[in-house]
Amino acid sequence: MPTMLEEPPLQAATPSARLRLTMAAVRLSFVWLGCRKTLSREQKTQAADTFGAEGDYVSAAKKLLDTSHPAYKGVSSLKSQIVSYWRAMSLPYPEPGIRLIRQDDLAPFQVQMTSFKADLEEAVRNLNQHYSELKSQARRQLGRLFSAGDYPATLAGLFECSWEFPSIEPPDYLRQLSPQLYEQEAARVAARFDEAVQMAEQAFTEELSKLVSHLTERLSGQEDGKPKVFRDSAIENLREFFERFRHLIIRSDEQLDALVSQAQGVVRGIQPQQLRDDQPLRQQVATQLSGVQAVLDGLLVDRPRRNILRRPK
């Protein structure tokens, strides 16, 4: 137990070290049937001939299924929900398909993802029931471009999601086999966590800037002589950001922490309808948020823009 003169290890740790101590890696992946297929060379040549073009200079694809069908939209909507949940529960990490989740969030994450998986399986079963109908529609719409060989016998197993918690620490066996290699791997992992901190700061700064900018724009000025219309979500999304920021906070940037607190203070206790009914309050909030936005703009200019982690496909 630490004495009064000692700091607990977690408090004394650097932001990147705190990430290593409190976070786990989570990888999300999908099996997803593509609904477009590139035309064959012969088909592209025929299409190019229509415009008097060379086939090698033309790119063309055919749509295999009607993605606007309610059954297909039910499947694709679930994919979007799963990715959004994964991202909301985690921080970026500089390796495609991997993010960092709090260790004490692993149990609820597992429960929710299991529920999503069951929902997706049910949505795929529903889509499969309409599969013959969708193929018949494609046959009519594609004409001579239709090929039965493009379509699997069933959609079962072709729309799936999976997740795992891979180790991103250097393997212990390297300590004995090659201490030097182990140290190299440890340094590489440490550098990745340093980058993860920077990526998190950048992502939070960009998201806050986008939310504050949108709400400020909606609260400022007029359209056709009337105050601009804004949805309740403009406030709700900002409050959800505050909750997620505090939950995933890495305490790495005092200026960003202060800006989040400042923005949160501006809208604390204010309901969307109040901003619609009270013009002086509306102007006050817009002015205060403009001050936050100005500082955020400076942060985004000062920091080098980093690559955003790609969503799994």
Q: What is the pLDDT of residues 227-274, one digit of tens each?
A: 888 899 999 999 999 999 999 977 788 899 999 999 999 999 999 999
Are 20 and 143 in the same domain? yes
Distances (CA, A) of 101 to 168, 208, 220: 13, 20, 37
How many domains in the chain? 2
66 phi/psi in degrees, rounded to 5: -75, 100
Answer yes or no: are the C-beta atoms of 192 and 181 closer than 8 Å.
Answer: no
Are 157 and 20 in the same domain? yes
Question: What pLDDT was estimated at residue 4?
Answer: 35
Are 179 and 141 in the same domain? no
9 phi/psi in degrees, rounded to 5: -50, -40
Tokens of 236: 């709700």
Are 239 and 201 in the same domain? yes
Task: Quote the DSSP letter at residue 158.
Answer: S
Question: 221 in a domain, yes or no?
Answer: yes
Question: What pLDDT was estimated at residue 12?
Answer: 57
Are 196 and 160 in the same domain? no
Are 192 and 298 in the same domain? yes
Are 83 and 106 in the same domain? yes
Local structure of 226: helix, strand or coil: strand
User: Which domain range does residue 221 map to?
Assistant: 174-302
User: Which of 112, 129, 164 corresponds to the end of one domain?
Assistant: 164
Question: What pLDDT was estimated at residue 11?
Answer: 60
Are 27 and 144 in the same domain? yes
Question: What pLDDT was estimated at residue 304?
Answer: 54
Tokens of 240: 């959800």
Are 82 and 213 in the same domain? no
The pTM score is: 0.85
Are 145 and 21 in the same domain? yes
Question: 111 in a domain, yes or no?
Answer: yes
Q: Using 70 as the pLDDT threshold, list the residues of the chain that sit under it.
A: 1-12, 302-313
Question: 307 in a domain, yes or no?
Answer: no
Question: 236 in a domain, yes or no?
Answer: yes
Question: 313 in a domain, yes or no?
Answer: no
Question: 169 in a domain, yes or no?
Answer: no
Question: 66 in a domain, yes or no?
Answer: yes
Distances (CA, A) of 74 to 138, 158, 162: 19, 15, 18
Question: What pLDDT was estimated at residue 229?
Answer: 86
Are 149 and 295 in the same domain? no
101 phi/psi in degrees, rounded to 5: -120, 145
User: Which of 164, 199, 234 corresponds to the end of one domain?
Assistant: 164
Are 78 and 148 in the same domain? yes
Question: 29 in a domain, yes or no?
Answer: yes
User: Which of 134, 164, 194 corresponds to the end of one domain?
Assistant: 164
Question: What pLDDT was estimated at residue 10?
Answer: 56
Question: What pLDDT was estimated at residue 52?
Answer: 77
